[in-house]
Amino acid sequence: MTDTSPDTRLFSGPVTFLKGAVAIAGLPSDDLPEIAFAGRSNVGKSSLINALFHRKTLARTSNTPGRTQELNFFAVGPQEDPIFRLVDMPGYGYAEAPKKKVGTWTGLIHAYLRGRSNLKRVYLLIDARHGVKATDTPILDTLDASAVSYHVVATKLDKVKPDAREAQIERISDAVAKRPAAYPGIIATSSVSGDGLDDLRAAILTAVS
Ligand code: GDP
């Protein structure tokens, strides 16, 4: 019997950059399941996306705000018949970004999250060292208000001392536990050590299937 369900080999296969959308009008069609990655700038989002897909330059690392105002869409799977889309969202909370620009891309993030029918899950990245911060609140509120299912992913776990990890993971879990659209539990990852990457890949495959 042939098993045709998507498996983790998808993450080593073709991933194609489709487009960077700067406005809701420029989004690709909503005919494929989508997952989105969101988080504060510098949370480790680009590194995590690159590590998940076993490549170095899929998402740009150490972005400057001028380059990160777009919703970047990637098709995962064979080019002629992709399985799902990945959306790399602009990082938020960048202290030095000009206010007007922040307003434009914050508006885009929130409009996308509120109105995307094929959006299966948002992976909301939280730095394992710092936990959930006030700058994360607006996006958490939008996700809850729009009933968009989201799963919190802790990043940079290698930067937390091994004996402090459990408590830190619990602290982050607790911070979102009462939120209505939060997926129970968090996935703790490190792009450097590879911790949690297989768990995250498995979670993504479940979310899009
Ligand atoms: P982004 O702005 O969210 O896309 O964050 P980047 O992926 O550009 O990462 C920001 C900084 O954190 C860079 O210097 C990365 O090398 C570093 N970084 C990202 N992920 C990890 C990780 O898992 N462990 C460690 N130690 N550093 C990381």
Which of the 8 DSSP states describes residue 182? B
Could you tell me if 197 and 153 are in contact, meaning their C-beta atoms sit under 8 angstroms apart? no
Q: Which residues line ligand 1 (CB under 6 A)?
A: 39, 41-47, 61-63, 91, 155-156, 158-159, 190-192
- The confidence score (pLDDT) of residue 95 equals 67
pLDDT, tens digit, for every residue of 163-178? 999 999 999 999 999 9
State which residues of the chain have pLDDT below 50: none
- The confidence score (pLDDT) of residue 96 equals 67
| Distance of alpha carbon 148 from alpha carbon 47, whole angstroms | 24
Give, using CA atoms, the residue closest to atom 17 of ligand 1.
44
Residue 66 is encoded by which pair of tokens?
Answer: 């001028």
Residues 6+ apart with CB under 8 A from 70: 20, 21, 22, 90
Helices 197-208, 45-52: crossing angle, 10 deg rounding: 80
Count of other CB atoms within 10 angstroms of residue 151: 20
Report the nearest atom of ligand 1 relative to the CA of 45. Answer: 3
Q: Which amino acid is at 156?
A: K
| Distance of alpha carbon 13 from alpha carbon 6, whole angstroms | 11
Give, using CA atoms, the residue closest to atom 9 of ligand 1.
44
